[in-house]
C-alpha cells in the first residue's frame, strides 16, 4: 500500500472517530459545585461541607479542613470521598457553629494524577464589624511543574521517541538492501539500546517523583515503604507504573538482542517497536486525556499525537546518528535516499499532528481569552510557533534530499531536532499545567433578537460564586432601548439538573441593566435566558451559552 492510500485511510478513520465520539475535557479536577458556595452568607450553621468536582478524584492523598477566623479547626476531621459519588469530597462540622467567617481548605488528586488545592470562604450570620477579621479570597490552583519533573518527564519523552523512531527508521525508512548491513544499522542499534536505558531510568524515577508531587514531601522523605506502597497500590498512577515496569522487563531481552541475529532481524525489530509503542500508550493514561468525559476517544487522540511526534523526533535522531554516512562516497546516496523516503512518511505525521493537535486545543481551550491569559494557553502558542519552524526546516530537508544536495543538510537536520526537543519540553509543561477550561475569563456576547434588537450579555468574572451580570439592549438603529419595564435572567445548568434560577436585574441607565448575583453555583456549561418586557407588553427573548470557570 503506498503512502497516499495509507494517509487517505488514516484521515478517513480519524474523521469518523471525531464525528462519532465527541468529548469535552477539563483536566486537573476543578470545582463544579460546593455547599456552601464561596462567599455565601448562611443564616444558620451547616452540618457539613460538600465539594463536587468535575471528575472522579482519587481516594488517597486528599484533605478537607474547615477553620474559623481565629484559625481554629471546626470540622470533625472525617474528611472523605463519597463512595457512591467519587467526585464528591465532604466533611462533617461541629454542631452549632457561632456566627462568623470560615474557610474550607481542600486538596485533591485528579483522575490524571495531578494535585489541585484551594480555599472556599463562607460566612454564618451577619458580619460583626467590631471584629477585625482578615478577608479570605476564594482560590484554586493546580500543580506547577518543577525542574525535577520537567527533566524526568522530558527524559521519558525523548528516550521513548528515540527508541520508537530508530526502530521505525530501520524497518520502514532505510532501503531494504541497506537496512541489514551492520555498518549502516550499528549506530542505530546503539542509539536504541541507550534510549532503552534512559527510558528505564526515567520510568523508575517517575514513581518517587509522583510521590513528591502528591505528598508535598522531599525526595529523601518519599523513599519509605508505606509511601511507595500507597503510590503503587492506591493510585491510578501506580497501576500504570506497574504496567510500564512489566513492559520494560519484557522489552529488555529483544532490545539487547538487536543486530545479533540476521535471521530474526525483522522479527526482533517489530517486537521492540510494538512494545515501545505500548509503553508510549501508557503515557497517555496519565495525561489530561485521562480526565475527559470520553476517555477512550480522548486517550486515543492523545496517543496518536504522541506517537506521531515520537516517530518524527525519533526519526530525526536516527538521521543525526547516520550523518557520518553523508561524508562517505559509498554511503552518501543511501543517506540522501533515506531522507527522501522519510519525508514521504513525514506528510502523514504532519497531518496527524495537525488534526490531533487542533482537537486537543479545542478540548482544553474554551475561547481566545483563555488562550492568551492562561499559562496553558501561552505555552500552547509557543508550541505551535516552534512546530511551524520545524515544518519549514522539514520542507528544506526534503528538498535537499530530493535534489541529492548535501550542502547545509547537517545543520538543518540538527536545527529541526533541537526544536523538536524544545517542543517536548513544552509538551511536558502542557501535560502538567492546569488546562484553560477552568479559567475561561469574562463572558461577553451580542445576539440579535426579534425585530432586529441587539442584546449584549456580560458576566464578570464568570466564575462560581458572585458575578456581575450586565445586559445592554439596543434597537435596530443601534440606539439604547427605552421603555423597558423589566429584564430578567433565567440561569440553567446544562451539566446537571439543578432546576432554574431566575433573577431580576436593576436599571442602571437607559437600555442597561446590572445585578451582582451568586446565580452560578457550579462550573461548566450554563444556559442564560435573557427576558425583557417593554411597557407596551412586548417581549425580548434570547438564549446565551456560557462556560463558567472555577477560578
Residue with cell 437600555: 511
Question: Does the pLDDT at position 144 exceed 80?
Answer: no
Mean pLDDT in residue range 310-330: 86
CA–CA distances in Å: residue 5 to residues 12, 295, 342, 345:
11, 29, 16, 12
Angle between helices 147-168 and 182-215 (to 10 degrees): 150
Q: How far apart are CA 359 and CA 382, in angstroms?
A: 17
Helix axes 295-321, 3-20, angle to 10 degrees: 150
Q: Do strands 80-81 and 63-68 pair parallel, antiparallel, or not at all (unpaired)?
A: unpaired
Q: What is the DSSP letter of 476?
A: T
Give the lowest-confidence range in 84-98, 125-139, 310-324: 125-139
Percent pLDDT > 90 in the chain is 21
Alpha carbon distances (Å) from 450 to 455, 476, 485, 532, 536: 10, 10, 17, 11, 15
* End-to-end C-alpha distance for the chain, whole angstroms: 51
Q: Judge whether 462 and 440 are in contact, CB under 8 Å.
A: yes
CA torsion, ordered 474, 475, 477, 479, to nearest 10 deg: -40
Gap between the Cα atoms of 290 and 297, Å rounded: 10
Q: What is the pLDDT of residue 167?
A: 92
pLDDT reading at 24 higher than 50: no
Q: How high is the pLDDT of residue 346?
A: 82
**How many beta carbons lie within 10 A of that of residue 409, not counting itself?**
19
pLDDT score at 27: 47
Mean pLDDT for 505-514 is: 90
Looking at residue 412, what is its pLDDT? 84
Which residue, among 503, 509, 510, has the nearest Cα to 459 in the 3D structure? 503
Lowest mean pLDDT among 224-238, 354-368, 517-531: 354-368
* Lowest-pLDDT range of 70-79, 143-152, 286-295, 314-323: 286-295
Cβ neighbours, 10 Å, residue 202: 20
For residue 6, pLDDT over 50 is answered with no
Nearest CA to 484 among 540, 416, 410? 540
- Quickly tell me which residue has 493537535 as its cell: 357
Q: Is 358 in contact with 380 (CB distance < 8 Å)?
A: no
Q: Is-contact 339 400, C-beta < 8 A?
A: yes
What pLDDT, in 10s, does the model give residues 404-424?
A: 666 667 788 888 889 989 988
The pLDDT, as a whole number, for residue 433 is 78
pLDDT at 142 over 80: no
The span from the CA of 483 to the CA of 470, in Å, is 18
115, three cell numbers? 494535585
Residue in this structure with the C-alpha cell 451577619, named with its chain if needed: 126
| Average pLDDT along the chain | 82
Query: Residue range 280-297: average pLDDT?
Result: 72
| Cα 474 from Cα 471, distance rounded (Å) | 10
pLDDT of residue 249: 94
Sorting pLDDT into bands at 50, 70 and 90, what band is 28? low
**pLDDT tens digits, 31-88:** 778 888 878 889 899 999 998 887 788 877 888 999 988 889 999 999 898 888 888 9
Is residue 145 a contact partner of residue 154, using CB atoms and an 8 Å limit?
no
For residue 7, pLDDT beyond 50:
no
pLDDT tens readout for residues 187-211:
888 999 999 999 999 999 999 998 8
Peptide bond into 36 cis (omega under 30): yes
pLDDT at 302: 84
- Confidence at residue 9, expressed as pLDDT on a 0 to 100 scale: 45
Looking at mean pLDDT, say which of 389-398, 434-443, 481-490 comes out highest: 481-490
Q: Looking at residue 453, what is its pLDDT?
A: 86
- Rounded Cα gap, residues 218 and 433, in angstroms: 21
Which of 95-104, 106-115, 149-158 is least confident?
106-115
Residue 15 has pLDDT above 80, yes or no: no
DSSP β-bridge partners for residue 532: 487, 540
pLDDT score of 199 = 95
Least-confidence region, from 46-50, 259-263, 464-468: 259-263
Edge-to-edge strands, sheet with 506-509: 443-448, 454-460, 465-474, 512-520, 506-509
pLDDT, tens digit, 9 for 90 and up, residues 107-119: 888 766 778 888 8
**Least confident residue range of 142-146, 275-279, 342-346:** 142-146
- DSSP H or E segment with residue 276: helix 265-284
Name beta bridge partners: 137. Answer: none
Amino acid at each position: 500500500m503506498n503512502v497516499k492510500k495509507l494517509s487517505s485511510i488514516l484521515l478517513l478513520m480519524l474523521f469518523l472517530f471525531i464525528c462519532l465520539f465527541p468529548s469535552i475535557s477539563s483536566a486537573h479536577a476543578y470545582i463544579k459545585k460546593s455547599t456552601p458556595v464561596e462567599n455565601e452568607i448562611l443564616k444558620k450553621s451547616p452540618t457539613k461541607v460538600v465539594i463536587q468536582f468535575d471528575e472522579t478524584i482519587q481516594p488517597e492523598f486528599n484533605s478537607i479542613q474547615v477553620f474559623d477566623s481565629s484559625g481554629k479547626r471546626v470540622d470533625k476531621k472525617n474528611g472523605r470521598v463519597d463512595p457512591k459519588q467519587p467526585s464528591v469530597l465532604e466533611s462533617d462540622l461541629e454542631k452549632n457553629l457561632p456566627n462568623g467567617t470560615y474557610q474550607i481548605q481542600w486538596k485533591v488528586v485528579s483522575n490524571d494524577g495531578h494535585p489541585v488545592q484551594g480555599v472556599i470562604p463562607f460566612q454564618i450570620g451577619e458580619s460583626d464589624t467590631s471584629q477585625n477579621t482578615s478577608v479570605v479570597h476564594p482560590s484554586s490552583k493546580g500543580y506547577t511543574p518543577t525542574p525535577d519533573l520537567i527533566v524526568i518527564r522530558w527524559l521519558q519523552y525523548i528516550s521513548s521517541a528515540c527508541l520508537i523512531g530508530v526502530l521505525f527508521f530501520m524497518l520502514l525508512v532505510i532501503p531494504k538492501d541497506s537496512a541489514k548491513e551492520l555498518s549502516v544499522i550499528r549506530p542505530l542499534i546503539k542509539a536504541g539500546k541507550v534510549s532503552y536505558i534512559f527510558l528505564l531510568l526515567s520510568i523508575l524515577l517517575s514513581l518517587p517523583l509522583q510521590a513528591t508531587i502528591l505528598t508535598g514531601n522531599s525526595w529523601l522523605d518519599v523513599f519509605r515503604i508505606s509511601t511507595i506502597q500507597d503510590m503503587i497500590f492506591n493510585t491510578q498512577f501506580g497501576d500504570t507504573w506497574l504496567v510500564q515496569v512489566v513492559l520494560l522487563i519484557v522489552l529488555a531481552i529483544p532490545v539487547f538482542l538487536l543486530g545479533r541475529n540476521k535471521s530474526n532481524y525483522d522479527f526482533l525489530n517489530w517486537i521492540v517497536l510494538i512494545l515501545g509503542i505500548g509503553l508510549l500508550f501508557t503515557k497517555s493514561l496519565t495525561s489530561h486525556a485521562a480526565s475527559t468525559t470520553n476517555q477512550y476517544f480522548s486517550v486515543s487522540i492523545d496517543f496518536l499525537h504522541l506517537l506521531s511526534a515520537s516517530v518524527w523526533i525519533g526519526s530525526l535522531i536516527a538521521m543525526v546518528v547516520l550523518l557520518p554516512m553523508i561524508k562517505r562516497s559509498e554511503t552518501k546516496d543511501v543517506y540522501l535516499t533515506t531522507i527522501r523516503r522519510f519525508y514521504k512518511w513525514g506528510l502523514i505525521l504532519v497531518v496527524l499532528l495537525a488534526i490531533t493537535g487542533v482537537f486537543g486545543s479545542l478540548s482544553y481551550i474554551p475561547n481566545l481569552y483563555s488562550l492568551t491569559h492562561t499559562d496553558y494557553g501561552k505555552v500552547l502558542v509557543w508550541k505551535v510557533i516552534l512546530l511551524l519552524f520545524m515544518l519549514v526546516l522539514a520542507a528544506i530537508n526534503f528538498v535537499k534530499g530530493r535534489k541529492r544536495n548535501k550542502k547545509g543538510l547537517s545543520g538543518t537536520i540538527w536545527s529541526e531536532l533541537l526544536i523538536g526537543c524544545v517542543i517536548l519540553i513544552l509538551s511536558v509543561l502542557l501535560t502538567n499545567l492546569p488546562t484553560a477550561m477552568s479559567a475561561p475569563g469574562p463572558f461577553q456576547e451580542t445576539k440579535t433578537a426579534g425585530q432586529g434588537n441587539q442584546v449584549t450579555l456580560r458576566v464578570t468574572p464568570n466564575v462560581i460564586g458572585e458575578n456581575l451580570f450586565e445586559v445592554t439592549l439596543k434597537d435596530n438603529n443601534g440606539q439604547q432601548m427605552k421603555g423597558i419595564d423589566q429584564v430578567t435572567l433565567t440561569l440553567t445548568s446544562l451539566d446537571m439538573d439543578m432546576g432554574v434560577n431566575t433573577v431580576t436585574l436593576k436599571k442602571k441607565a437607559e437600555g442597561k441593566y446590572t445585578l451582582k448575583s451568586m446565580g452560578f453555583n457550579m462550573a461548566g456549561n450554563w444556559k442564560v435566558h435573557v427576558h425583557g418586557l417593554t411597557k407596551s407588553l412586548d417581549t425580548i427573548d434570547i438564549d446565551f451559552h456560557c462556560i463558567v470557570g472555577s477560578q
